[in-house]
Structure 1
Amino acid sequence: MATEITTAPHDGSTDPASPARLCGRLLGRVETRLHDFLAAERELRTRVDARAAAPIDALTALIDSGGKRIRPAFCVAGYLAAGGDPASEDIVAAASALEMLHTCALIHDDVIDASPRRRGLPTVHARHSAEHARNGWEGEPRRYGESVAILAGDLALIYADQMMSEASPSLGAAWAELRSELIIGQFMDVVVAAEFSADVALSRWIAVVKSGRYTIHRPLLIGATLAGRPELEGAFEAYGDALGEAFQLRDDLMDAFGDSDATGKPVGLDIEQHKMTLLMGLAMDRDRRTREFVLGAERDPAEVRRLLDETGVRMDVEAHIDRLVEKGRAAIDAAPLDERWQRELGAMAHQVAYRNS
């Protein structure tokens, strides 16, 4: 199981009021909230028929399988950095909503990508397709599995909305924008993959809305708004957009060169499905040979990886990630925040940009 992003002090501090320990305690309450909520829903929905548990159990299994809780962590950090009360239940509800929304996105992404594994386990659609086939039910196993996954993802989205509505009416605009950006970004990702158009600017925009804003900028803003300091949006946007691009580039590198045992999902999937990732867009823009090969009729993933190494693209992307992290940290260092929280957000930037899973 992957560890949460901010549960341990980065400097080894034993101070219970250190930023990392404050975040860790709040994230522990988020875990409790998610599990208690799903357990209550399961008890309620199975009063009519035990089979109604299936989509709820799918959400519970995915949440139990681990994950870094990156979005709740940035939401909690933004809230506490802005002076929010650590005892608040509102921030727990908001951070829980972000993780539930992420659960929805993962389930639907796995259907879109036809991915068989997530966090080392069968994906929701794969597991239920196998169940259908094993039981010899009527209809097509694949369609049944994908139907269960779509409905489970929709249920997670409903739960996310319910949780966020319990936090504060002041979050409505930021929450609506976050969800809209996520869906539009995902749609554009699908379209660009289908067209396989080498557009670096568009790939960067998709990375910003799918990763930067959804993962970092908007969660930070939701936290700061809940704490009564929406004026921090500018600093959090600059930090989130830079770090979000770094986050996406790391994701692309892990897909191309990672270890499936570490990532918990198949590697090379983006290359095999001819996705125009930010990494691939940069590679094609930088090197004509890579562009001609990738746009050709035959695209061998192993050869693509070799070209990324041989042409220096992989090394250049690592250097670009370094620059993006420094840019994000500079934005936070210039923000009107306590120095301890500037250091904490700087450490979080390093964690997400240089992760290996």
Structure 2
Amino acid sequence: MTVGGTSTTVGSGPHDPFGEAGGPDELEALEHDLPGAVTAALADYLHGRRPGAVEVGEEFADATDDLTRFVLDGGKRLRPTFAWWGWRAAGGRDDPSAVLRAVSALELIQGCALVHDDLIDDSATRRGSPTVHTRWTRRHTDAAWAGDPARFGAAVAILLGDIALAWSDDMLHESGVDPAALARARPVWQAMRTEVLGGQFLDIRGHAASDSSPETALRISRYKTAAYTVERPLHLGAALAGADDATVRALRRYGTDLGIAFQLRDDVLGVFGDPTVTGKPAGDDLREGKLTLLVALSRAHPDRETAAVVERAVGNPDLDADGVAAARDALVALGVVDDVERRIADLTASALAAIAEAPELAAPAPDRLADLAVAATRRAR
């Protein structure tokens, strides 16, 4: 597989790092197209929840249908993929369909996070389409309903994000995995939910309090995205398999470093990414005033004249293409882009070392995790 012109092959021959070609048995069949298997599990679960929504009301079912479309339409299924390979790294092989359902529940937490994050950031698009709150605002306007359309759209987005979070718990606990495995996974699941919500709080508080230090930016990256994208999914999968402490330590070290590198790549793409690939307008992170490490390093740079070009762009909702280009040029001139790229490379190398130095991990997980590290940090979207 190639991501951004870079081969993601590491050690075991060409293949898709999000899946593994295999034979006829159930385990190998699922790994042949793991993202596809996750999407199928989600579709089955979400469609099974629809009759309950209809009992509440057809209008409510219509709203949950919108959530179903949002969850199923797009996404790389990274979190379930990392959870799966955490399970496999710890020697997991039995009852793969139940484990697949359990780890697929992570996509509903992701759905909750994205719906709420788009509302908090007032983002108009996600994956090239209108965000949930934007769609429901337009629906209110088109129907000429009473009240403020924007407040209505926000309220629906909050509720649909809440439903996604509630259903993620239901999907995990109804997955069919062994009760003892669920008991081992529960503390990890609880910690992950607290961390992602806490990270979101740190983000909005840091913005309000003008706390723009690089340390704060990295702490937000660690908890808002990194922990629940890589580290905790790996930990969850390992817990389902009954991993020993050494395996958990190796996977969490890999996950912590790679998760931060993943978020830093996301930050770079938020400013420099191609909107036809990322699905978001160019420079949207600048318009939204996101406290990324790029912005934090710019604010700490001694070249205040060049840094001022970036500062004028941050939080400016009317930032045009010329303003985005000027901010990009300034970030490059300040050297902060090179700084972030070095951090991504160093963190990725550290993550790969954690896997290489952990002989207790079961094959073929080390190769798959190595491939995922490259794919996650050299991607174009």
Change (3 A) 1:64 1:97: closer
1:198 CA displacement: 2.3
Letter in 1 for 2:66: A
Which residue of structure 2 aligns with residue 345 of structure 1?
369
2:167 maps to which of 128, 141, 159:
159
Q: Provide the C-alpha distance between the structure 2 equivalents of 1:195 and 1:301, rounded to a whole number of angstroms.
A: 25
Q: Helix, strand or coil: the match of 1:16?
A: coil
Aligned pairs for 1:1-357 (under 5 A) are 11-12=14-15, 15-16=22-23, 23-85=31-93, 87-166=95-174, 167=177, 168-231=182-245, 232-289=247-304, 290-294=306-310, 300-335=323-358, 336-338=360-362, 340-357=364-381
Q: Provide the C-alpha distance between the structure 2 equivalents of 1:96 and 1:158, rounded to a whole number of angstroms.
A: 14
* Deviates most, 234-243 or 281-290: 281-290
Q: Helix, strand or coil: the match of 2:96?
A: coil
Q: Provide the C-alpha distance between the structure 2 equivalents of 1:22 and 1:41, rounded to a whole number of angstroms.
A: 23
Q: Provide the C-alpha distance between the structure 2 equivalents of 1:149 and 1:230, rounded to a whole number of angstroms.
A: 40
Q: Provide the C-alpha distance between the structure 1 equivalents of 2:79 and 2:364, rounded to a whole number of angstroms.
A: 20
Change (3 A) 1:10 1:113: farther
Change (3 A) 1:210 1:46: same
Q: Helix, strand or coil: the match of 1:139?
A: coil
Is the CA contact (8 Å cut-off) linking 2:30 and 2:37 kept in structure 1?
A: no
1:249 CA displacement: 1.0
1:73 CA displacement: 0.5
1:149 CA displacement: 0.7
1:259 CA displacement: 1.4
Change (3 A) 1:253 1:152: same
Q: Provide the C-alpha distance between the structure 2 equivalents of 1:291 and 1:119, rounded to a whole number of angstroms.
A: 30
Q: Provide the C-alpha distance between the structure 1 equivalents of 2:108 and 2:13, rounded to a whole number of angstroms.
A: 27
Change (3 A) 1:72 1:58: same
1:279 CA displacement: 2.1
Q: Provide the C-alpha distance between the structure 1 equivalents of 2:243 and 2:341, rounded to a whole number of angstroms.
A: 34
Change (3 A) 1:67 1:218: same
* Deviates most, 240-249 or 173-182: 240-249
The C-alpha deviation readout for 1:196-248, integer Å capped at 9, x for no partner, is 32211121111111222110010001001101104222112211111111111
Change (3 A) 1:146 1:317: same
1:24 CA displacement: 4.0
Q: Provide the C-alpha distance between the structure 2 equivalents of 1:308 and 1:20, rounded to a whole number of angstroms.
A: 45
Is the CA contact (8 Å cut-off) linking 1:107 and 1:124 kept in structure 2?
A: yes
Is the CA contact (8 Å cut-off) linking 1:272 and 1:301 kept in structure 2?
A: no
Q: Give TM-score, length-normalised by structure 1.
A: 0.90
Is the CA contact (8 Å cut-off) linking 1:115 and 1:266 kept in structure 2?
A: no
The C-alpha deviation readout for 1:56-108, integer Å capped at 9, x for no partner, is 11211112321100100000111112111253343123212101100000000
Letter in 1 for 2:134: A
Q: Helix, strand or coil: the match of 1:46?
A: helix
The C-alpha deviation readout for 1:233-281, integer Å capped at 9, x for no partner, is 2112211111111111111111111111111122312212222112211
* Deviates most, 10-19 or 51-60: 10-19
Q: Helix, strand or coil: the match of 1:148?
A: helix
Change (3 A) 1:194 1:85: same
Unaligned runs of 5+ in 2: 317-322
Q: Provide the C-alpha distance between the structure 1 equivalents of 2:263 and 2:28, rounded to a whole number of angstroms.
A: 24
Is the CA contact (8 Å cut-off) linking 1:10 and 1:20 kept in structure 2?
A: no
Letter in 2 for 1:277: T
* Deviates most, 293-302 or 272-281: 293-302
* Deviates most, 215-224 or 242-251: 242-251
Q: Provide the C-alpha distance between the structure 2 equivalents of 1:273 and 1:63, rounded to a whole number of angstroms.
A: 23
Letter in 1 for 2:373: A
Q: Which runs of structure 1 show a deviation greater than 6 angstroms over 4 or more consecutive aligned residues?
A: 17-21, 296-299
* Deviates most, 25-34 or 315-324: 25-34
Is the CA contact (8 Å cut-off) linking 1:196 and 1:274 kept in structure 2?
A: no
The alignment's C-alpha RMSD in Å is 2.5
